[in-house]
Amino acid sequence: MLNGTTTTEFLLLEFSDIWELQILHFVVFLVIYLAALMGNLLIILAIAFDHHLHTPMYVFLMNLSVLDLGSVSVTLPKSMLNSLMNTRSISYAGCVAQVFFFLFLLTADFYLLTVMAYDRYIDICQPLHYERVMNRRACAQMATGARISGILYSALHAGSTFALPFCGDNVVDQFFCEIPQLLKLACPDIYQSETGTIAFSAILDLGCFVFIVVSYVQIFRAVLRIPSEQGRHTAFSTCLPHLTVASLFISTGVFAYLKPTSSSPSALDLAMAVLYSLVPP
């Protein structure tokens, strides 16, 4: 591969050339990372040790927390280490690994959010069929399917991205190896193949989002027919956080991957990356 012989490392986004501001960046990202670790670990431990929570909704939530732990661990530690060590570099192999695992975890995360919408739909709209439809075997198959889909999706994108020769410099205008920023470094006459792959994937993701929206339209219609106010409150409290995370995830992710990339580092690009990669976990 041409790029394998000419590019040995990439340079990630430098937040500032002032040492004190780099330390500030390290502290801010450390707080975000520790908050994500603590929150998701508490969810995993609470569900694992309380047998009353061994229901499909909470099992899916535990799987979601595991994926979230992985996704923030793929990107944040390297960025924090670079700030602490006053460097910007990431090896070519490290960038490949970061792209693969980040896409795998985020894709599995989103597909799991889609499965959770289906779980809520069956529970609220067809409660008499819930035990039969959402049995242990079906839940295991859905969770496994989300992970397998994530692996295939990630292998497709990582493979097509790093098969391209990089004709530009090696500066990635993001705090991690993000595909749209890597495509800016590829030869302009052949990078359209990966752009087409991104567009196709966006259509699939949009299909999942439409499925989530349709499921929640049915859910809200059913919830509004619940006679007791407490029952409506309970149903909404289990659905609205999930819908909020799914909406934030898909809207910012699609925007970050489909919008035209700027030739210079953009605060909007950074904000979108933070919104879809750090805020949901």
Given this model, what pLDDT does residue 42 score?
96
Q: Which two tokens stand for residue 167?
A: 């004709």
Condensed to tens digits (0 to 9), the pLDDT of residues 258-275 reads 666 666 666 777 888 888
Q: What pTM was computed for the model?
A: 0.86
Q: What is the DSSP letter of 169?
A: -
Instruction: Please state, in angstroms and rounded to a whole number, the distance separating the CA atoms of residues 139 and 186.
Output: 41
Condensed to tens digits (0 to 9), the pLDDT of residues 182-213 reads 888 877 655 555 666 767 777 787 888 889 88
Instruction: Please state, in angstroms and rounded to a whole number, the distance separating the CA atoms of residues 279 and 281.
Output: 6
Query: Quick one: what percent of the chain has pLDDT higher than 70?
Result: 90
Given this model, what pLDDT does residue 146 score?
92
Mean pLDDT of 240-259: 78
Beta-carbon contacts of residue 160 (< 8 Å; ≥ 6 apart): 193, 194, 197
Least confidently predicted of 69-78, 109-118, 144-153, 204-213: 204-213
Q: Which two tokens stand for residue 71?
A: 């996704």
Given this model, what pLDDT does residue 103 score?
92
What does R_g of the chain's alpha carbons equal in angstroms?
20
Residue with tokens 């990431």: 90
Instruction: Please state, in angstroms and rounded to a whole number, the distance separating the CA atoms of residues 34 and 126.
Output: 39
Given this model, what pLDDT does residue 262 score?
62
Q: Which long-range contacts (CB under 8 A, 24 or more apart) does 254-263 make?
A: 254/202, 254/205, 254/206, 256/178, 256/180, 257/179, 257/180, 257/198, 257/202, 258/198, 258/199, 258/202, 261/180, 261/181, 261/183, 261/184, 263/184
Given this model, what pLDDT does residue 6 score?
65
Burial class (CB in 10 A: 0-12, 13-18, 19+), 207: exposed
The residues spanned by each domain of the chain are 2-165+209-277
Please give the residue that has the higher pLDDT: either 141 or 200. Answer: 141
* Residue 79, amino acid: S
Query: Which of the four pLDDT bands, split at 50, 70 and 90, describes residue 180?
Result: confident
Condensed to tens digits (0 to 9), the pLDDT of residues 79-124 reads 999 888 888 899 999 999 999 999 999 999 989 999 999 998 998 8
Residues 133 and 122: beta-carbon distance below 8 Å: yes
Query: Which of the four pLDDT bands, split at 50, 70 and 90, describes residue 164?
Result: confident
Condensed to tens digits (0 to 9), the pLDDT of residues 35-68 reads 999 999 999 999 999 999 988 989 999 999 999 9
Please tell me which of 2-16, 177-191, 206-220 the model is most confident about, judged by mean pLDDT.
Answer: 206-220
Query: So what CATH class is 2-165+209-277?
Result: mainly alpha
Please give the residue that has the higher pLDDT: either 161 or 97. Answer: 97
Please list the alpha-helical segments (H only) found in 55-170: 56-85, 92-125, 130-133, 136-162
Given this model, what pLDDT does residue 16 score?
72
Instruction: Please state, in angstroms and rounded to a whole number, the distance separating the CA atoms of residues 117 and 123.
Output: 10
Residues 239 and 218: beta-carbon distance below 8 Å: no
In SS3 terms, 101-125 reads as: HHHHHHHHHHHHHHHHHHHHHHHHH
Would you say residue 1 has pLDDT above 50? no
